[in-house]
Amino acid sequence: MITKSLLQTLVPLVDDLARELPDGERYRRLLEAVRALLPCDAAALLRLDGGWLLPLAVDGLSHDTLGRRFKVSEHPRLQQLLEAPGPTRFPPDSPLPDPYDGLIEGVQLEVHDCMGCPVLLGDTPWGVLTLDALDKERFSSVDLADLQAFASLAAATVSVVQRMAGLAQQFEAEHARAESYRALAEEHPAPTLIGQSPAHQRLLADIATVGNSDLTVLITGETGVGKELVAQALHAASPRASRPLISLNCAALPESLVESELFGHVRGAFSGAVADRRGKFELADGGTLFLDEVGELSLSVQAKLLRVLQGGQLQRLGSDREHRVDVRVIAATNRDLAQEVRAGRYRADFYHRLSVYPLPVPPLCERGHDVLLLAGHFLELNRSRLGLGSLRLDADAQAALLAHRWPGNVRELEHLIARSALKAMQGAAPRARIVSLTAAHLDLGAQTATVDMPADTTPPVDLRTSLDDHQRQRIADSLQRHQGNWASVARELGLHRANLVRLAGRLGLRKQ
Ligand SMILES: Nc1ncnc2c1ncn2[C@@H]1O[C@H](COP(=O)(O)OP(=O)(O)OP(=O)(O)O)[C@@H](O)[C@H]1O
C-alpha cells in the first residue's frame, strides 16, 4: 500500500522529471529521498557497464566509493540483486560479503542489513539501487514495495537523463552491453576517466568538443596525468571509434626504428628487414594514430612526419611507391614544445601542425577531491587482486591524500595505493574482512611536509635549485633502496624510465 509519507517524498521527484536539472543533481535528490523515507545509513545507485557496476551517486558512503568499479562476478550480493526480478533483502546473518563493508561514512564497521533492487529499463537490467544499515534488524519493518517504487523512479530518472542528452545511440549500446553482461567476463571495465572536479569537467567538455572532429590534437600535461586515457577517450568520442586506435611511444625506440615503425618498410630496406611490413600509419588507416611522447622525436623524423600530415601520403622505408592514408593524429607530450621550439630543438612548422587543438590535462593537485575517487578506483582494483573482502581508507589517510602535491600525478597515486595496500594487508589480522589503509601505510608525511614547508634556515636559494636538490635527494634515496635498479626507481617515483634517466642525467646522478 502506498503510504502518505511515501507519496509526499515521491511527488517532488516526479516533478523533478519534467524540470531541467544537472544529471548528478537528479540522482543525488533521488538518493536523498530514499534516505529520508527508508531507515538506511547509506544508499547508492549503480550503473551496469559490461560485467561491472559503476556508482553514479552515493549517499552516506565514503567519497572514494564514487570512483570504485565493482566487478559483478566478484560481488555476489550485487549479482543477486541484479538477477532478481524485484527487491531483495538479504538475511542479516547472510555470509555473503557486502561490497560496502567498511565504506559507510565515518565508521569502519561491517554492513549488517542490506537490501536492494534492480533498476530495469524495459526488461533490461540497467543497474541497481542499494540500501545498507549498520544494525541487523533495521530493514525488518521496510515494505519491499516502497523500495520497488524508488527503483521505478530511478528507471524513470535514467530514461529522462538519456532522452535529454539525446543519447539514443548510447542507449542502444548500453542495452547491448547490459544484455550480455554475464557473457562478458571482462578483466577490466571499459576505461573511464574518473573525476568530478571542475577542472575534470572542463577536460571532459573539451574532449566532447574536439573528439567529434578530425582535428589533430596535442595533449599536454605533466607525467602521469592520464594523457593516454584522454587519447583513448578522444578516439572513442570520434566518428572513427569503430576503427583502430594505434599507439606509438616515440620515446621507446631509437630513431632508425621510429621511422620504420611509423611508415613501414619493404624487404631489404635495412639489414634485418626480411619481409615487407606495414607501419603504424597504414595500420591506423581509417582510424586514429596516437603518438605518445611526441616531444622526443628527432628533427629529421619530425620533417618526415610533417610531410605525411600535410599530404596524407607516405612511403615505406626503401620504397618509392606512395601510399595514401586517412589517419587522424593525436599526440601527447609532457614537454613544453613551444619552449623546445624556441630552444631550436623542435620544428616550429611541425609543432603548429600538431597543436591544431591543444588540450591541456590538469595536474592531480588541481583536481581537489578527485584524488579520493581515483584512490577508490585503485583500492577496488587492489582489493580484487589481493583477494580481500574490503579495502578502505581511514580518515587520516584521506587527509594525507588530499594534502599531498602529487608530482607523479595519477600514476604516483596508483603505485602508492598498490604499495600501501600490501603493507596494510601484511599488518592486518589473518583473514580480516576489512583492511584499513592509514596515513602511516601511505607514508606521505615526510614528502608532503618537505614540499609544503621548504626549510628556511639556509640562505635563500632559487626555486629551480631547491627543486633540483629535492629531486636529486629523492632519486638518490630510491636508488639506494632499489640497489641501483632504475626501472624500480621509475616505478616508485611514478615516472617513465626514459624521463627518469633524462632527469637523472640533468641532475648529475648519471652519465648523459
Ligand atoms: N582520470 C583517470 N581515471 C582513471 N584512471 C586514470 C585517470 N588518469 C590517469 N589514470 C591512470 O593513471 C595511470 C597513468 O595514466 P597515463 O599513462 O594515461 O598518463 P600519461 O599522462 O600518459 O603519463 P606519461 O606522461 O608518463 O606518459 C594509468 O594507469 C591510467 O589508467
413-467 confidence digits (pLDDT tens):
999 999 999 999 888 887 778 899 999 999 886 554 334 433 333 344 556 666 7
CA nearest 143: which of 39, 233, 284? Answer: 39
Residues 453-483: b if buried by 16+ CB within 10 A, e if exposed? eeeeeeeeeeeeeeebeebbebbeebbeeee
314-344 confidence digits (pLDDT tens):
888 888 888 888 999 999 999 999 999 999 9
163 and 43 in a single domain? The answer is: yes
Distance in angstroms (rounded) separating the CA atoms of residues 104 and 43: 10
129 and 205 in a single domain? The answer is: no
74 and 89 in a single domain? The answer is: yes
For position 447, what pLDDT does the model report? Answer: 52
What DSSP character marks residue 64?
Answer: G
Q: Is residue 184 part of a domain?
A: no
- Is the CB of residue 130 less than 8 Å from the CB of residue 44? yes
374 and 493 in a single domain? The answer is: no
Ligand 1 center to 45 CA (angstroms)? 26
- Is the CB of residue 367 less than 8 Å from the CB of residue 200? yes
Contacts for 221 with CB less than 8 Å, ≥ 6 apart: 227, 332, 334, 360, 361, 362, 363, 409
Index of the ligand 1 atom closest to the CA of residue 194: 3
Taking CB atoms and a 6 Å cutoff, what residues make up the pocket around ligand 1?
193-195, 221, 223-229, 292, 332, 334, 374, 377, 410-411, 414, 496
Residue among 197, 206, 207, 228 whose CB has most ligand 1 atoms within 8 A, to mutate? 228
For position 510, what pLDDT does the model report? Answer: 72
Q: Is residue 190 part of a domain?
A: no
- Is the CB of residue 349 less than 8 Å from the CB of residue 384? no
In sequence order, what E strands does 408-492 have? 434-437
SS3 475: helix
493 and 430 in a single domain? The answer is: no
Q: Considering the chain, what is the average pLDDT of its residues?
A: 84
CATH number at residue 8: 3.30.450.40
Residue 218: is its pLDDT beyond 70? Answer: yes
Index of the ligand 1 atom closest to the CA of residue 223: 25
* Pairing outcome for strands 288-292 and 245-249: parallel
Q: Is residue 311 part of a domain?
A: yes
Q: Which residue range forms the structural domain that includes residue 377?
A: 367-453
- Is the CB of residue 290 less than 8 Å from the CB of residue 247? yes
Task: Flag whether the ipTM exceeds 0.90.
Answer: yes
201-217 confidence digits (pLDDT tens):
999 999 999 998 999 99
Last residue of a domain, one of 428, 453, 478: 453
Out of 140-149, 162-171, 503-512, give the one with best mean pLDDT: 140-149
Out of 9-13, 255-259, 458-462, give the one with best mean pLDDT: 255-259
Model confidence at 21, in pLDDT bands (50, 70, 90)? Answer: low
Last residue of a domain, one of 360, 381, 414: 360
Least confident of 34-38, 259-263, 377-381: 34-38
Residues 141-154: b if buried by 16+ CB within 10 A, e if exposed? ebeeebbebbbebb
Residue 469: is its pLDDT beyond 90? Answer: no
Residue 393: is its pLDDT beyond 90? Answer: yes
Model confidence at 188, in pLDDT bands (50, 70, 90)? Answer: low
Helices 144-164 & 168-179 angle (0-180, nearest 10): 140
For position 449, what pLDDT does the model report? Answer: 39
384 and 339 in a single domain? The answer is: no
61 and 169 in a single domain? The answer is: yes
Output the 3-class SS for 268-291: CCCCCCCCCEECHHHHCCCCEEEE
Q: Is residue 136 part of a domain?
A: yes
247 and 396 in a single domain? The answer is: no
In the chain, the percentage of residues whose pLDDT exceeds 70 is: 86
Please tell me the total count of domains within the chain: 4
Q: Is residue 64 part of a domain?
A: yes
Q: Is residue 231 part of a domain?
A: yes
CA nearest 251: which of 296, 298, 303, 300? Answer: 296
Cα separations (Å) of 486 from 233, 332, 443, 470, 504? 31, 24, 22, 18, 10
386 and 428 in a single domain? The answer is: yes
Distance in angstroms (rounded) separating the CA atoms of residues 494 and 405: 13
Distance in angstroms (rounded) separating the CA atoms of residues 117 and 94: 17
Q: What is the mean pLDDT of the segment spanning 51-61?
A: 91
For position 3, what pLDDT does the model report? Answer: 64
Residue among 219, 334, 411, 491 whose CB has most ligand 1 atoms within 8 A, to mutate? 411
351 and 385 in a single domain? The answer is: no
Alpha carbons within 13 A on the beta-carbon side of 167: 14
Q: Is residue 186 part of a domain?
A: no
- Record the cell numbers describing residue 328, joined without a space: 587522424
More confident residue, 175 or 233: 233
Index of the ligand 1 atom closest to the CA of residue 292: 27
174 and 227 in a single domain? The answer is: no
Ligand 1 center to 410 CA (angstroms)? 6
Residue among 64, 229, 292, 337 whose CB has most ligand 1 atoms within 8 A, to mutate? 229
For position 466, what pLDDT does the model report? Answer: 64
SS3 162: helix
385 and 504 in a single domain? The answer is: no
Q: Is residue 247 part of a domain?
A: yes
Index of the ligand 1 atom closest to the CA of residue 496: 26
The residue whose CA is least distant from atom 15 of ligand 1 is 226
Last residue of a domain, one of 118, 147, 179: 179
CATH number at residue 281: 3.40.50.300
Backbone angles phi, psi at 322, to 5 degrees: -95, 140
Write out the H or E segment, with its range, that includes residue 330. strand 328-333
Least confident of 103-112, 175-184, 385-394: 175-184
- Is the CB of residue 9 less than 8 Å from the CB of residue 37? yes
